[in-house]
Structure 1
Amino acid sequence: MKRFTQAILTAALCSSLPALADATDAVARGRYLVEVADCNGCHTAGFAESGGAVPEADRLTGMNVGFSGPWGVSYPANLRLSAAGMSERDWLARARAGGLPPMPWPALKAMSDTDLRAIYAYLRALGPAGVAAPGALPPGAPIPTAHFVFVPQPPTRVASAAGKH
């Protein structure tokens, strides 16, 4: 009987290994996609300024530095809290719904469901951390935080080299 129980337990354990490997692969794929899509560039405070030298444990927690333009002001979300607070199905729907600039929503919409699920798996593996980013502001509203201004400027006049004496 002891051998039979061991055989059953071994079979059960081995049958769950592919699922475990799939989950591990999804997290690794999600980490890769986050890196190549430069999600940390906006969604991790201090990432750009430090040349990416932010510990993984502190990444993707959003920023309170806004992006201001004709749409109003938008803030990079805390993706870890977002993923922790929604199901995978809701995550896919949110990614497909789009939102405010400068988030590259068309690029996100072009990702496969498999890629979006991998990003979700990675964010869930990181776990919730930090606080929610400020909510978006409508055009003309006072901006209580530091912000980048995305408003096209007219070209500056440059003297031509041929015209100089």
Structure 2
Amino acid sequence: MNLRRSTAVALLSLTPAMSAVAVEPVIAGSVPPDPERLARGEYLTRVSGCHDCHTPGYSQSAGQVPHDAWLTGDTTAWEGPWGTTFASNLRLTLLRFNDEQWLDYARSLRTAPPMPWFNLAAMSDHDLLSILTFVQWLGPKGEPAPPALAPGDTWIGPTIQFTHRSPD
């Protein structure tokens, strides 16, 4: 067998193995993201207040929460005229999005308080994608948030109450 034919046979024998690898799913946190995008995402989740609601104990401990607990949601209820809402587990929620889906979702999101959806919608694509990269890089952890409750339904657990104040 000549060298050219040997090389072709060797390459063809690798093709099934290489194609099998190409279709394997990517697990969040398993592929190193762009370091700049990752750092920007971490920075944005800190300074834009994501952790204040989505990381248990973050505000109470002046941000001194282990990284493995970051953005896992919280069971502290936010109660007001809209009913009762909970900070979602972003590490589970954001796993379902690719870049395009996340941008569409972030731009069309309309939630009950206290989530400032309008701030999220105002972010640049670069900033939104940086947040997505960082949260997906953290990987899945924790449980989904409790479902929202209708006005008048009560939550047995820690609750932050908002009152409606009419403009003077």
Q: TM-score range by the shorter chain?
A: 0.7 to 0.9
Question: What is the RMSD computed on CA atoms of the aligned residues?
Answer: 1.9
Structure 2 partner of 1:39: 50
1:21 Cα deviation from its structure 2 partner: 9.1
* Uncovered stretches (5+) of structure 1, i.e. residues with no partner: 1-19, 155-165
Distance 1:152 1:33, change over 3 A: same
Runs of 4+ residues over 4 Å off in structure 1: none
CA–CA distance in 1 between the matches of 2:104 and 2:138? 21
* Uncovered stretches (5+) of structure 2, i.e. residues with no partner: 1-30
Distance 1:54 1:130, change over 3 A: same
CA–CA distance in 1 between the matches of 2:33 and 2:93? 23
Structure 2 partner of 1:150: 162
1:66 Cα deviation from its structure 2 partner: 0.9
Structure 2 partner of 1:73: 84
Question: Percent identical across equivalent pairs?
Answer: 40
**Count of residue correspondences:** 135
User: Could you tell me whether the CA contact under 8 Å between 1:69 and 1:150 is conserved in 2?
Assistant: yes
1:153 Cα deviation from its structure 2 partner: 6.4
Deviations 1:67-117 (A, max 9, x none): 000110110010111111332322222222221111111111110111111
User: Could you tell me whether the CA contact under 8 Å between 1:98 and 1:109 is conserved in 2?
Assistant: no
1:122 to 92, 114, 134: 134
1:138 Cα deviation from its structure 2 partner: 1.2
- Name the SS for the 2:42 alignment partner: helix
CA–CA distance in 2 between the matches of 1:22 and 1:87? 14
CA–CA distance in 2 between the matches of 1:131 and 1:84? 13
User: Could you tell me whether the CA contact under 8 Å between 2:110 and 2:117 is conserved in 1?
Assistant: yes
